[in-house]
Amino acid sequence: MSDWWKDAAIYHIYPRSFQDTNGDGIGDLPGITQRLDYLSWLGVDALWMSPVYPSPMADFGYDVSDHCDIDPMFGTLADMDALIAKAHRLDLKVIMDFVPNHTSDEHPWFQASRSSRDSPKRDWYYWKDPGPNGGPPTNWLSRFDGESAWAWDEATEQYYLHTFLKKQPDLNWRNPEVREAMCDVLRFWFDRGIDGFRVDVAYRVMKDPDFRDNPVNPDWTPDMDPSFRVHETRTKNIRDAHRFNRWIRSVADEYDDRVLVGEMNLKIPELVDHYGTPEAPEFHLPFNFRLVFSPWTAENVRALVDEYEAACPDHGWPNWVLSNHDQPRFATRAGRAQARCGALFVLTVRGTPTLYYGDELGMQNVDIPREQVQDPWEVLSPGLGLGRDPERTPMRWDATEHAGFCPPDADPWLPVGASARVQNVALQRKDDASMLRFVKRLLALRSEHHALRRGTCRTLTAPNEVLLYERAGEADRFFVALNFSGSAQTVALPQPAQRLLSTRMDTADVSVETQLSLRPNEGVLLRAETNRP
Ligand code: GLC
Ligand code: CA
């Protein structure tokens, strides 16, 4: 057991938007393979790809119609093998997305299931008669439009459950055949060399076995997410979620050194339950989305670090997500001026960091004109700010037309955004003070210094708008100070220390300080003088 995932920095790729090689305006596997050298140069350790399986693309790949193949839009199984082989040559781990909660309605399993009430696959999905009032069997709501999560099937006169789109029917994991078939999917990819899975909406897979209604949310107002009309106590994070976790963990444990990352938007006390116990382990990394869902203030982030450090069990390992394909990008949430501080934080706090492609450039959301909207969530619940296209725009490689994402005469599936001309990999590679250079330097320091990865982590007293913490290993000790404000700040360090890196990229080798001066929005990494008390 190497526990490589404790030391790794994970880079999340949204495959449609990374690199197009055949001019259809959609990113593909050969494009990712071609850019692996970039990831290796940058210094990340693992890449996670959102789904690339065959799919009608109703939810851009999160509606899988065949779990053991690659969508022709992205390439072939041979392309995937080539990607894995090259990644491994470069010492990069490859994590795929696993979507257990639902399949596409075009999956042969669902086609069989809906064909008749007597189909041997009928019970692979949730089929129910109408409820007592003649309508849907429960008040459960679909996440994307807040309408009933039950769709009526004319042909067989029953309802089926879909937590997301009607085209994404939920799989019934209480059926042992479903479990076996889905666990075989994991084995199929593990056998091909995949190093782990990010498990989509892991905490929603198990539902109340008695199909009881969710309690109504009395505080719901129409400007809120329509599915928040109920509290999801019967459909999310129920006790049995841990059974699901253990089923898939036991498959991962049939292999050496594989990792399971669980997608679950939970507060810290509930989140840490998903490590399981030392005897019955569950997720290696239950995704910690607290940064994504709470305000970027010194006070808040400090409280999160304290709470998480206290709650994380000894057999667990923390992790932090900066941005993802479902929520506004970090540099949009926190503002451009704080983009580097965000990167400094996730790359120096204790735990496995996940960066979203483009975070290393300080990429922000791109406004998508109404006629170019792609995301079904925006189509079904328009104007509430739920659409995810703005954070899914193409990666910015250079200053040419479409930022080098696709050929100049191609039509990218989402616009690259005007600022790509001044914010792209090519420009930032040449600029010693760029954010890209900053992130690369930080990743290098992280792999150089054991204490920055495995050392203890403790927040320290600092002025209101500053977050100060210590990372301590057996032999050395580091401090990180982040100025969340637009004004200069002074911080007393507990011990003299030398600046190793500043977000301003201008402080190599300056002398030892105990009174640390931070410029507006500046973050610094310091190394303590170990020969002094
Ligand atoms: C997860 C994915 C999201 C997808 C949904 C349904 O939340 O991250 O992109 O739409 O699950 O699969
Ligand atoms: Ca393509």
**Backbone phi, psi, residue 138, to 5°:** -140, 175
Which residues lie closer than 8 Å to 461 by C-beta, 6 or more apart?
468
Is the per-residue pLDDT at 11 higher than 50? Answer: yes
pLDDT value for 533:
44
Residues taking part in catalysis: 200, 254
CA distances in angstroms from 489 to 61, 471, 505, 520, listed in the order given: 46, 21, 18, 7
Interval 402-442: pLDDT, tens:
999 999 999 999 999 999 999 999 999 999 999 999 999 99
3-state secondary structure of 408: coil
Q: What is the percent of the chain where pLDDT is above 90?
A: 96
Interval 320-376: pLDDT, tens:
999 999 999 999 999 999 999 999 999 999 999 999 999 999 999 999 999 999 999
Interval 432-483: pLDDT, tens:
999 999 999 999 999 999 999 999 999 999 999 999 999 999 989 999 999 9
- Taking CA atoms only, the protein residue closest to ligand 1 atom 9 is 326
Which residues lie closer than 8 Å to 310 by C-beta, 6 or more apart?
none
pLDDT value for 2:
85
- Choose among 455, 456, 454: nearest CA to 4: 454
Average pLDDT over residues 135-141: 97
Interval 149-186: pLDDT, tens:
999 999 999 999 999 999 999 999 999 999 999 999 99
Confidence band (pLDDT; 50, 70, 90) for 316?
Answer: very high
Count of beta carbons in the 10 Å neighbourhood of residue 355: 25
* Distance in Å, CA 522 to ligand 1 centroid: 34
* Distance in Å, CA 412 to ligand 2 centroid: 9
pLDDT value for 508:
59
**Cα 438 to Cα 441: distance, rounded to the nearest angstrom:** 5
pLDDT value for 230:
97
Interval 192-251: pLDDT, tens:
999 999 999 999 999 999 999 999 999 999 999 999 999 999 999 999 999 999 999 999
CA distances in angstroms from 86 to 37, 127, 147, 446, 520, listed in the order given: 9, 44, 45, 24, 42
- List, chain by chain if needed, residues with CB within 6 Å of any ligand 1 atom: 59, 62, 99, 164, 200-201, 263, 325-326
Interval 58-87: pLDDT, tens:
999 999 999 999 999 999 999 999 999 999
- Taking CA atoms only, the protein residue closest to ligand 1 atom 3 is 326
Extract the tokens encoding 370.
């109404």
**Cα 211 to Cα 117: distance, rounded to the nearest angstrom:** 20
